[in-house]
Structure 1
Amino acid sequence: MAESWSVPGSVESIVCVNPVRNVVEDDCTEALTLRDLSVELIDTSTGDPTRFGTLPVHPAVTEAILKVVQSGKYNGYYPSNGILETREAVAQYFSRPQAPLTAQDVVMTSSCSGAMDITAMVLCNPGQSILLPMPCFGLWKALAEARGVIVKYYNLLPDKGWEADLDSLEGAIDSTTAAIVVVNPSNPCGSVFSRAHLKAIVDVAQRHHLPIIADEIYDGMAFSGHEFVCVAEVSDSVPVLSCGAVSKIFMIPGWRLGWILIHDRNGAFQQQVRPGLGRLSRKILGPCTLVQAALPDILTNVPDSYKQRNLEFLERNARKCFEKLSKVDGLTPFMPAGAMYMMVNIDLERFRFGSDVDFIKALLIEESVFVMPGKAFCAQSCFRVVLILPDDKISEACKRIAKFCSKHDTAAQSN
């Protein structure tokens, strides 16, 4: 008999790597302990809109959940794909004239992460590939690779508002490709694609008969001068699965409620994908019934003025951050068009850092400012700033970043 135990883990548990969480919990753990604790930490790394109180929940959201809890009607099991009244409300809220929806086209999920997981599972087999934009929210990579799906990338072009490089997209397609992921508005880039550009992406998918997974969690979050257009609006023939959630639209990420919108062009999803979505939704018997039941009132009673106020706040922060960081030698910020993030390119050679992770770790230790490195988004030589901070904190963060860059600027030191 063996004297000690050694129980093997599953392949999925071994290969599953979430780049964002790895940076926060592994790469930067030591830096967090080494920083000057007498200086306030300014954490711009995580896209949690509740952290600073700058984007408060609308009272109608609180009233809706209290009403549901007090009713006592939603403490049990409901259909795994979602409460019918909730799916009807979601379908009505997100329907467009060019992309109508019914309750049968909605699957409720546990957060947008759950929607992402299910859409990838229903379309991709192990050994097939999924096309992701680069930079991209790192969870897409984690979900795919954990199940043996090959991740391939198409480039986004920073100098063109982070539009997709269509040649790169088409060049990445091969016989293994199962789906194209389009993230719009973008985390981490803050881009918002024009209607014409989305149509060009859809045309590539049409030529190769590939479905699109649209990560549209930032639905409607476009700054002035830009218009959010959902992928399904410009698709006549390409089938689309759209992922969304309450987390960013209504600023309640901890409520963990999302959805999949099924835009089934030409019945392409009818035979296998629709029933597959139903079967996959039954794995965990559906998301929280209390939040589901509150959602129809939330969709009805939260005014557009609330969302507009949030957008104006984020855009003011974006413009301020862009203006200040544009003056820092060695950094190139890219003004976002929406969402709640800004990407900044780093001239690593100028600062003599080997990687963006080395740069942000030193920044964290020396200035107590925490930004997310490009590594978390499958990109290099850049970092992401979250734009949810109060006015004084975002100004102070930019001031400290400028001080740090000046200290490490080898070009300035040689003059």
Structure 2
Amino acid sequence: MSPSSSKTSLKTRERLSEVRYEIRGELARRARELEAQGRSLIKLNIGNPGAFGFRAPAHLQRAIVDGIDQTDPYTHQQGLPAAREAVAAHYKARGTPNATPERVFLGNGVSELIDLSLRALLNPGDEVLLPSPDYPLWSAATILNDGRPVYYRCLPENGFLPDPDEIEALVSSRTRALVLINPNNPTGANYPRELIERIVAIAARHNLLLLCDEIYDSILYDGAVFQPVAPLAGEVPCLSFGGLSKVHRACGWRVGWAVLSGDPLAIGEFHHAMDLLGALRLCANVPGQFAVEAALHGDNTIDALCAPGGRLYEARRAVVESVAASRHLELVAPAGALYAFPAVTGAALEGGFDDHRFALELLETENVLVVPGSSFNVPYRNHFRVTLLPQPDELREVFRRIERVLDRRVGRDAGDGTVRAALG
């Protein structure tokens, strides 16, 4: 017997089997294999502006260059003082109560801060109310911090907006937090003030922490207005997340922040827990923090991209018009963020439709990579997500290819029906 044959494989954490992240999962691995074979793919699975030719604004780049000689040491675990002051001033200006630098945490992207916040909050078996569909990192971080995701529905027939009565009916004695993703990934829904006020009232009645993922807060279309949660939450504990990755097109810099607001007595212990966990990882990426003040208090570079004639607006228009012209698709037009979440409908659903098989066929036959809708923790399997970052003409071509796949599917099903009828 060889030495290796007697060894057992290393065991991994059991709860990893509950985690899904198809955005970079099996289909993305297959895409890399096809690229290695020489295939040219259109990859719409990740909202990564730099991969589509966007650049972080020049004044943010200059801020990092100007500060680079100060970036060698660790900084405070909550972040550079000047960066925290800039974040606090920005949130104070939009009405966040008690927005001070002491309540600001800088992290390696919002992703790290989501994980830290849930690790600071949850005991085994505690529940977190999450939207369905959600950005799957929220579910994964809940599970890996020994919590239990409980999903409230954001149905397409309601514009992907949640029903507050349904949210409240899901609250139990183990519920600790309520997550809002606004503007929403993957649907592009933008929550109105009245809806947020009702959700805040639920958190107040049940002593829940509001976790508000607002990373797309300035990416809005057709006059949509963003309503931050913290000003409406007042004394209700609230953690608001933002960063440089989307609005400022600097994903690779890994700069995110979280702003803690609410009654000081209610949030004190949680604040100390976040500070401790931040200290254990020493500090966040330092160079990128020098761009925070320039981003939040410098020139606005996102509005023009989202206005008619701007690249994001025209990309969204290309998707909306392509779906409107399709025989097989429907879409709730995104009001914000960088994605669309079309639904396959009609004859294309006959005989059973599986979003993963559809996405795999689209990849294998048409060289287009999308994310199956079920990856976002929904019970239905007839949606898929695309990013709005490619050029508008490229998105029109993508939807021509999608239409070909669905046309072939309808043709196959019709042929199968003819055969079945003849045999019957």
**What CA distance in whole angstroms lies between the structure 2 residues aligned with 1:352 and 1:29?**
28
Return the offset for 1:40: 3.6
1:337-376 correspondence runs (5 A):
337-347=335-345, 350=349, 352-376=351-375
Identify the residue that residue 70 of structure 2 maps to in structure 1. 73
**What CA distance in whole angstroms lies between the structure 2 residues aligned with 1:12 and 1:118?**
21
Return the offset for 1:176: 1.1
Identify the residue that residue 401 of structure 1 maps to in structure 2. 402
Alpha carbons of 1:77 and 1:38: their partners in 2 closer, same or farther (altered >3 Å)?
closer
1:35-74 correspondence runs (5 A):
40-53=40-53, 55-69=54-68, 72-74=69-71
Question: Higher mean Cα deviation, 333-342 or 198-207?
Answer: 198-207
Q: Is the 8 A contact 2:45 2:386 kept in 1?
A: yes
Return the offset for 1:204: 1.6
**What CA distance in whole angstroms lies between the structure 1 residues aligned with 2:293 and 2:326?**
47
Return the offset for 1:14: 4.2
Return the offset for 1:65: 1.2
Alpha carbons of 1:66 and 1:79: their partners in 2 closer, same or farther (altered >3 Å)?
same
Q: Is the 8 A contact 2:110 2:241 kept in 1?
A: yes
Q: Deviations over 1:112-169 (max 9, x none)?
A: 1011111111221111111110000011111111122111100002223211122321
Alpha carbons of 1:329 and 1:265: their partners in 2 closer, same or farther (altered >3 Å)?
farther
Alpha carbons of 1:36 and 1:351: their partners in 2 closer, same or farther (altered >3 Å)?
farther
Q: Percent identity?
A: 28
1:124-135 correspondence runs (5 A):
124-135=122-133
Identify the residue that residue 385 of structure 1 maps to in structure 2. 386
Q: Which runs of 5+ in 2 are unaligned?
A: 419-424
Identify the residue that residue 149 of structure 2 maps to in structure 1. 151
Return the offset for 1:223: 1.4
**What CA distance in whole angstroms lies between the structure 2 residues aligned with 1:225 and 1:143?**
33
Return the offset for 1:180: 0.5
Alpha carbons of 1:349 and 1:403: their partners in 2 closer, same or farther (altered >3 Å)?
closer
Identify the residue that residue 98 of structure 1 maps to in structure 2. 95
Return the offset for 1:393: 0.8
Q: TM-score, normalised by structure 1?
A: 0.91
**Given the alignment of the two structures, is residue 25 of structure 1 paired with residue 20 of structure 2, yes or no?**
no
Identify the residue that residue 421 of structure 2 maps to in structure 1. none
Identify the residue that residue 136 of structure 2 maps to in structure 1. 138
**What CA distance in whole angstroms lies between the structure 2 residues aligned with 1:310 and 1:261?**
27
**Given the alignment of the two structures, is residue 308 of structure 1 paired with residue 303 of structure 2, yes or no?**
yes
Q: Is the 8 A contact 1:331 1:345 kept in 2?
A: yes
Q: How many residues align?
A: 406
Partner AA of 1:279 in structure 2 = L
Partner AA of 1:358 in structure 2 = R
**What CA distance in whole angstroms lies between the structure 2 residues aligned with 1:91 and 1:108?**
11
Alpha carbons of 1:36 and 1:113: their partners in 2 closer, same or farther (altered >3 Å)?
closer
Q: Work out which structure has the larger RCO, using CA pairs closer than 8 Å and 6 or more positions apart in sequence.
A: 1
**Given the alignment of the two structures, is residue 294 of structure 1 paired with residue 291 of structure 2, yes or no?**
yes
Q: Deviations over 1:265-303 (max 9, x none)?
A: 363102x111111101112111111111332233333x1
Alpha carbons of 1:405 and 1:354: their partners in 2 closer, same or farther (altered >3 Å)?
closer
Q: TM-score, normalised by structure 2?
A: 0.89
Q: Is the 8 A contact 2:196 2:229 kept in 1?
A: yes
SS of the equivalent of 2:52 reads coil
Identify the residue that residue 228 of structure 2 maps to in structure 1. 230
Alpha carbons of 1:92 and 1:28: their partners in 2 closer, same or farther (altered >3 Å)?
closer
SS of the equivalent of 1:233 reads helix
Match of 1:273 among 270, 275, 288: 270
Match of 1:250 among 215, 228, 248: 248
Identify the residue that residue 323 of structure 2 maps to in structure 1. 325
**What CA distance in whole angstroms lies between the structure 2 residues aligned with 1:110 and 1:12?**
26
Partner AA of 2:293 in structure 1 = P
**What CA distance in whole angstroms lies between the structure 2 residues aligned with 1:48 and 1:364?**
19
**What CA distance in whole angstroms lies between the structure 1 residues aligned with 2:259 and 2:95?**
14
RMSD of aligned alpha carbons: 2.4
**What CA distance in whole angstroms lies between the structure 2 residues aligned with 1:28 and 1:38?**
15
Partner AA of 1:57 in structure 2 = A
Alpha carbons of 1:12 and 1:280: their partners in 2 closer, same or farther (altered >3 Å)?
farther
Return the offset for 1:377: 0.7
**What CA distance in whole angstroms lies between the structure 1 residues aligned with 2:66 and 2:265?**
39
Partner AA of 1:11 in structure 2 = R
Alpha carbons of 1:281 and 1:168: their partners in 2 closer, same or farther (altered >3 Å)?
same
Return the offset for 1:383: 0.2
Question: Higher mean Cα deviation, 168-177 or 180-189?
Answer: 168-177
**What CA distance in whole angstroms lies between the structure 2 residues aligned with 1:36 and 1:286?**
37
Return the offset for 1:45: 1.2
SS of the equivalent of 2:260 reads strand
Question: Higher mean Cα deviation, 242-251 or 3-12?
Answer: 3-12
**What CA distance in whole angstroms lies between the structure 1 residues aligned with 2:16 and 2:222?**
44
Q: Is the 8 A contact 1:247 1:257 kept in 2?
A: yes
Alpha carbons of 1:412 and 1:233: their partners in 2 closer, same or farther (altered >3 Å)?
farther
Partner AA of 2:113 in structure 1 = A
**What CA distance in whole angstroms lies between the structure 2 residues aligned with 1:320 and 1:74?**
42
SS of the equivalent of 1:385 reads strand
Partner AA of 2:306 in structure 1 = L
Question: Higher mean Cα deviation, 390-399 or 25-34?
Answer: 25-34
**Given the alignment of the two structures, is residue 86 of structure 1 paired with residue 87 of structure 2, yes or no?**
no
Partner AA of 2:21 in structure 1 = P
